[in-house]
Amino acid sequence: MASLRALFRSARTARTTSRPALGPLPADDEVLLDAPDEQLAPVLIAAGQGAYEPAAALLAGTRAATEWEARDRYVHRLALFARSRAEWLDDWFRAAPHDPDLLLLRAQLAVDHAWGSPARSELLRAVSPVITAAARGDDRDPVPWRIALDHARGSNAGHKYFEELWEAAVRRAPHHYGCHVAALRYLGTYWHGSHGECFDFADTAAQDAPPDSLVQALPARAAFAYLTDGCGPEVPRARLDVAADRAITLSARFPAADLWPAEVRNKLMYLLVRLERWEDARTQLHMIGPYATSFPWARLSDDPLGHFVRLRAQLLAGTEPHPEAGPTLSPRASGLPRAEHGGQVPADDH
């Protein structure tokens, strides 16, 4: 994976029809939005009480164990929490200003703060030193490079510079999902409307990744971007189905109602509804269990949990979901959810 251009080869994906055993569905009032896992939940409680030490221990543990996917998730969630409650982070900085885990969290928070501003590009350029410091904290860690990839997209960095960042990221973790999502988003911005190139990148990355890697869901993310972008040439229906099938295969590798693949499954259910694959969408409802996620439902509604529950009810009733509860595969037009690569995007999902 020497460069992004080297990844732009044609898709070779095979279809699958495997179906896991289905369990009972939780009641509506048992469905949770963005539930933290058992490691993160007590850390958030402690941070709410002003204690930074559990967060420091959690991130240090992911770094020691090279659990980069979990580390990336925790950094996102802790930075989101710190945007409204930062006292514990300030105490951590006073106690250990050079802690590599603190540097990483501060880099994420700095990008988050800048992202929602009208002066985003200028503000992002100003936080470059914070990201550089995080990257120097632990040379093995790909997560600072994922932050750098997001930063490059937001600051309108050129393609050559982005490729340098990408190469540094994949040297550290060739199949890190967060870095691949960041690259896909950059490509969607850099080549706005050129969805074929984005699919080529996503397909090749998935083909190169292990079967249980979250990168297997990257083509489904490319399909989501295409269906919500509203511009560019048409992508063949068969390519969308192949992307969905690959994500279905990945979903089946994890237990039903497992928190780890929850976002992948929520995104997949959206895609299946858009493709009018109702039975497959109902299967993913059982696989999701109680774990709704803001992405992608916050792109359709200011009440993502309520939106998910309403869509779920329509699917379970055996009816085709109403467009306002989950659009079907009609021509891309106004009123569709906000674009993956443009428009107003929540700062925590950039």
Q: For the residues of 76-97, what is the DSSP string, one character each?
A: HHHHHHHTT--HHHHHHHHH-T
User: What is the rounded distance in angstroms from the CA atom of residue 182 to the CA atom of residue 189?
Assistant: 11
Higher pLDDT, 22 or 314: 314
User: What is the rounded distance in angstroms from the CA atom of residue 177 to the CA atom of residue 326?
Assistant: 26
pLDDT confidence bin for 105, thresholds 50/70/90: very high
Mean pLDDT value of segment 293-301: 95
**Residue labelled with tokens 């199949």:** 175
pLDDT confidence bin for 340, thresholds 50/70/90: very low
pLDDT confidence bin for 116, thresholds 50/70/90: confident
Indicate if the pLDDT at residue 339 is higher than 80: no
Beta bridge partners of 291: 32
Q: For the residues of 96-148, what is the DSSP string, one character each?
A: -TT-HHHHHHHHHHHHHHHHTSTTHHHHHHHTHHHHHHHHTT-TT-SHHHHHH
Q: Looking at 33-42, 200-209, 257-266, 331-340, which range is the least confident one?
A: 331-340
Q: Tens digits of per-residue pLDDT, 150-200?
A: 999 999 999 999 999 999 999 999 999 999 999 999 999 887 768 989 999
User: What is the rounded distance in angstroms from the CA atom of residue 269 to the CA atom of residue 244?
Assistant: 9
Q: For the residues of 245-291, what is the DSSP string, one character each?
A: HHHHHHHHTS-TT-STTHHHHHHHHHHHHHTT-HHHHHHHHHHHTTE
User: What is the rounded distance in angstroms from the CA atom of residue 113 to the CA atom of residue 104?
Assistant: 14
Q: Which of 202, 249, 184 is nearest to 11 (CA)?
A: 202
pLDDT of amino acid 218 = 98
- Compute CA distances 280 → 32, 224, 285, 288, 324, whole Å: 22, 16, 9, 12, 20
Can you read off the two tokens belonging to residue 293?
């996620």
- The single-letter DSSP state of residue 336 is S
pLDDT of amino acid 69 = 98
pLDDT confidence bin for 268, thresholds 50/70/90: very high
Q: In what helix (H) or strand (E) does residue 55 lie, and over which residues does it extend?
A: helix 53-64
pLDDT confidence bin for 2, thresholds 50/70/90: very low
Omega before 211 within 30 of 0, i.e. cis: no
Can you read off the two tokens belonging to residue 222?
């490319």
Q: Tens digits of per-residue pLDDT, 68-79?
A: 999 999 999 999
Residues 222, 181 contacting (CB under 8 angstroms): no
**Phi and psi angles of residue 143, each rounded to the nearest 5 degrees, phi first:** -65, -40
Contacts of residue 240, Cβ cutoff 8 Å, sequence gap at least 6: 223, 226, 227, 271, 275
**Residue labelled with tokens 């509804």:** 273
Count of Cβ atoms closer than 10 Å to residue 318 Cβ: 8
Percent of the chain with pLDDT over 70: 85
Q: Is the dihedral of CA 78, 223, 14, 12 positive or negative?
A: negative
